[in-house]
């Protein structure tokens, strides 16, 4: 069972890296989208394709596999739920998933021309996953609670 746990852990880390890469990049694409839509309108179809493919081909499968391998580790007894760090991590992972869904909604709104967010607004929102990631890593590695 030890080898299976290590494989789940390795695949979990790989999935997290892929998910985080996408979750940091997609809001940056949104910034370009809103800041260039009037000055370079011919870029909009390209940005929309990039946004859609990033979300559907990389981010969503990576999110699903992150959850899958994380839950496998939890099921194998890899988490002590009597500690605060486990609950902090769980809450932050749920928060990251909500942010992912928010990004999916914003992508649809941008494609429909219905988003009124500014580049600055998307830049600010891009800090949300950064804060969540810091909390997750510190919770898991340092286990302060």
Residues 99/23, Cβ–Cβ less than 8 Å: yes
Closest of 102, 114, 95, 123 to residue 32, by C-alpha: 123
- Could you state, in chain order, the average pLDDT of each consecutive group of 10 residues for the chain (145 residues)? 90 98 97 93 94 98 98 91 94 98 97 92 96 96 92
First to last CA, the chain: 28
In this prediction, residue 53 carries a pLDDT of 98
Which are the contacts of 28, defined by CB distance < 8 A and separation ≥ 6? Answer: 122, 126
User: Cα separation of 96 and 133, whole Å?
Assistant: 8
In this prediction, residue 123 carries a pLDDT of 96
pTM of the complete model = 0.93
Q: Where are the domains of the chain?
A: 2-141
CA distances (Å), origin 126, targets 91, 129, 143: 18, 6, 25
User: Cα separation of 80 and 98, whole Å?
Assistant: 24
């Amino acid at each position: 069972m030890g080898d299976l746990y290590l494989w789940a852990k390795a695949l979990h880390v790989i999935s997290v890296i892929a998910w985080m890469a996408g979750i940091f990049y997609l809001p940056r694409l949104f910034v370009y989208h809103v800041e260039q839509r009037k000055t370079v309108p011919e870029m909009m179809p390209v940005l929309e394709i990039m946004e859609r493919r990033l979300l559907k081909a990389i981010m969503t499968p990576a999110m699903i596999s992150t959850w899958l391998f994380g839950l496998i580790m939890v099921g194998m007894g890899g988490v002590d739920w009597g500690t605060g760090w486990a609950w902090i991590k769980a809450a932050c992972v749920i928060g990251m998933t909500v942010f992912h869904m928010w990004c999916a909604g914003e992508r649809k709104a941008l494609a429909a021309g219905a988003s009124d967010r500014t580049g600055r607004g998307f830049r600010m929102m891009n800090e949300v996953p950064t804060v969540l990631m810091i909390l997750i890593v510190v919770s898991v590695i340092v286990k302060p609670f």
